[in-house]
Amino acid sequence: MVKGIYHPPRTSETVQFFPHKTRSHIQTPDSNIITQTNSRGYTFFVMTNSPELLYHIFLTVIDYHVDPSGGKRSIYILGTNATLEAAKNSAFRVLATLGYKPEDFVEYAIHSSSTEEWDHGDGVLVYAKAPAGQVFLISIQATPNDEKLLMDSNGGIFMPTGIPSLHYVMQTMIDYNKDRTGCVQETQIEGTFIHRADAYAAARKLLDPLDYADYDTPEKMAGEWPFGEEVVAHAVAETGQNTIVEVKTVADAHHKHGKGM
């Protein structure tokens, strides 16, 4: 069943994921002017600004074919934009970039209007269900632009030279009181950083161990850490709510969830 197929307008903006596009530039004393060098070696000045918010594109894959409860899911950050419009344009093209067409899914819906009824979650712009049972959710989250990243002319962001991806501090809360299968969970970006060390420092300070009945880190469980390399902390409240803090970068999701993978 295909519902509401949306064809976004063509723009010159490239989809900003797999991974970030790094532009070679030098910041001048005036923070609103940068110099940029093109492929032919010509250098020119570009007027830009630092937006108040950044808009991040999420891909959530819920593996119902592996776990019918929906508790098993994978979350990828695909890129960051400086404007909501640019982020939406990128979000609507995610599945096409992964090699899919709407007819590849038994259910496909897009949230193109704020006035229509929508049953697939706040912030979700695209819902698609594959025949095997996998569900793809494409969503957008906004966070403050604390690193003062500059915006390009297409609504993307200028990445500093040599930095292939931002580092994202993410917090996932799983409420086993509402559902013991773990399908009731929420993930939020708590910080966005240029440098990996800054992201890890912020992630380690995000939770207060005294607020939890159980608080574990890779250092405390050396050699026995079960939560993966990206996870910085795992905490369990007295209520039973689990919290996971991790640091992620823009992921090559097409290697795991592209069509034919």
What is the model's pLDDT at position 225?
93
pTM above 0.85, yes or no: no
Q: Give the end-to-end CA distance of the chain in Å, rounded to a whole number.
A: 23
In the block, residue with structure tokens 């991974």 = 19
- pLDDT tens digits for the chain (261 residues)? 444 444 444 333 334 444 444 444 444 444 455 555 656 666 555 556 889 999 999 999 998 888 888 878 889 999 999 999 999 999 999 999 999 999 999 999 999 877 678 888 888 999 999 998 899 999 999 999 999 999 988 899 988 888 989 999 999 999 887 777 767 789 999 999 999 999 999 999 999 999 999 999 999 998 889 998 999 999 999 988 999 999 999 975 555 666 665
Q: Cis bond leading into 19, ω under 30°?
A: yes
Backbone φ and ψ for 50, nearest 5 degrees, come out as: -105, 110
Residue 9 has what DSSP assignment?
P
What is the model's pLDDT at position 218?
94
Angle 20-21-26 from CA coordinates, rounded to 5°:
120
What is the model's pLDDT at position 254?
52
What is the model's pLDDT at position 46?
56
Cβ 74 vs Cβ 63: under 8 Å: yes
Q: Measuring CA to CA, how many Å separate 227 from each of 223, 224, 260?
A: 11, 9, 28
